[in-house]
Amino acid sequence: MDSYSLMTRNTEEVVTEEEVRELAESPEGRRAYVGYEPSGALHLGHMLTANKLIDLQDIGMDVVVLLADVHAYLNGKGSFDEIEETAEEMERQFVEYGLDPEKTEFVLGSEFQLEEEYTLDVYSLAVEVTLNRAQRSMSEVARERDSQRVGEMIYPLMQAVDIARLDVDLAVGGIDQRKIHMLARDHLPDVGYDAPTAIHTPIITALGGGEGKMSSSEGEGDMITMTDSREEIEEKVNSAYCPQTVEGNPVAQIYRYHVFPRFSEVVVERPEEYGGDLRYTEYDGLAEDLESGELHPADAKNALVEYLSELLGAE
């Protein structure tokens, strides 16, 4: 797979295609960044963007992982002591999951976000960005509250300045980060910085289905984490929403975005009386069989437990 295909596989959007192609032509020494709020154990929602970071490392890019403790505090995720303890654990889990420690720089937000020059950049951006734009940019990210906090308006301005101050060539995030990245593209040039190139990954549906996304705010039972045991993974997968269609199906999404990028072949074991084992080298084959009824959701779940347990090192 060529560099551009690897950069863009399993993405929801690239901004812009021309800019991403330019990065793909000379990736060595280029820097990509993702910011994560340290708000709990690493889960499959985080790992979707981590998969993209692994793709970027495979083509030669360096990766910056921002453990955004100040952002987490502004978003009501706990005290600084609690958040920093979680950040240390997340760093260890990212390396265990597969990020190359030689090509990954982990940065705690408070290491540079409290400096005078950074603060002045945030203030300068605040002069340029309307309150309405800041509110809209946070609509997919902020915690649900009866009324918004002032800290939530500072949050997207800081995230834009992070991109500038970390001196990165590419911002990566879930599609829920799109509005913040677009704010950065529109307004960082107003304060003397380049507009960032961005890659957005899809959002995995919560295990229970419906409109929710897999995140720590949905509760432990609705996400799969690096700290789950094999038994816990089995329990969660077996109770997950899995209709005989891929649309809105979290089991199918986990296969597509987590299993197939990391395994060259997927084997679904079945007794001979039910047709014997099914083997897939691409997600499309599994999706087609699930839609047609050749692959029963229960068999898909049983195999998924095995692959996730291996992927996450669960015992």
Tokens 């295909």 — which residue?
A: 5
The predicted model scores a pTM of 0.92
Bridge partner list, 157: none
Give the CATH superfamily of 216-312: Tyrosyl-Transfer RNA Synthetase (1.10.240.10)
3-class DSSP assignment, residue 202: coil
pLDDT at site 134: 94
Alpha carbon distance 271, 256 (integer Å)? 24
Angle made by CA atoms 132, 217, 94, in degrees to the nearest 5: 105
3-class DSSP assignment, residue 67: strand
Asked if residue 188 lies in contact with residue 204, where contact means CB atoms within 8 angstroms, the answer is no
Asked if residue 77 lies in contact with residue 36, where contact means CB atoms within 8 angstroms, the answer is no
The tens place of each residue's pLDDT in the chain, 315 residues long, gives: 899 999 999 999 999 999 999 999 999 999 999 999 998 889 998 899 999 999 999 999 999 999 999 999 988 899 999 999 999 999 999 999 999 999 999 999 999 999 999 999 999 999 999 999 999 999 888 766 667 788 889 999 999 999 999 999 999 999 999 999 999 999 999 999 999 999 999 999 989 887 677 765 555 557 899 999 999 999 999 999 999 999 999 999 999 999 999 999 999 999 999 999 999 999 999 999 999 999 999 999 999 999 999 999 998
Query: Packing angle between helix 150-165 and helix 178-187, nearest 10 degrees?
Result: 60
pLDDT at site 146: 65
- 201 CB burial (10 A radius; 0-12, 13-18, 19+): buried
Alpha carbon distance 178, 210 (integer Å)? 22
Question: For residue 205, what is the DSSP state?
Answer: B
Q: Which residues have C-beta within 8 Å of that of residue 55, sequence separation ≥ 6?
A: 6, 7, 9, 261
In the chain, residues under CATH classification 1.10.240.10 are 216-312
Dihedral pair phi/psi, residue 174, rounded to 5°? -65, 165
Half-sphere exposure of 75 (CA within 13 A, CB side): 23
Taking Cα atoms as reference points, which of 91, 35, 21 lies closest to residue 64? 35
3-class DSSP assignment, residue 40: coil
Q: Which residues have C-beta within 8 Å of that of residue 224, sequence separation ≥ 6?
A: 43, 44, 207, 214, 233, 236, 237, 254, 308, 312
Alpha carbon distance 200, 208 (integer Å)? 24
3-class DSSP assignment, residue 276: coil
Alpha carbon distance 162, 117 (integer Å)? 12
In the chain, residues under CATH classification 3.40.50.620 are 3-201
Strands 104-108 and 62-67, by their bridges, are parallel
pLDDT at site 216: 55
Print burial letters for 31-46: b (CB count within 10 Å at least 16), e (below 16).
ebbbbbbbbbbbbbbb
Dihedral pair phi/psi, residue 189, rounded to 5°? -60, -25
pLDDT at site 145: 63
Alpha carbon distance 30, 56 (integer Å)? 10
Alpha carbon distance 104, 91 (integer Å)? 10
Pick among 3.30.1360.20, 3.40.50.620, 3.40.640.10, 3.90.1010.10: CATH of 3-201: 3.40.50.620
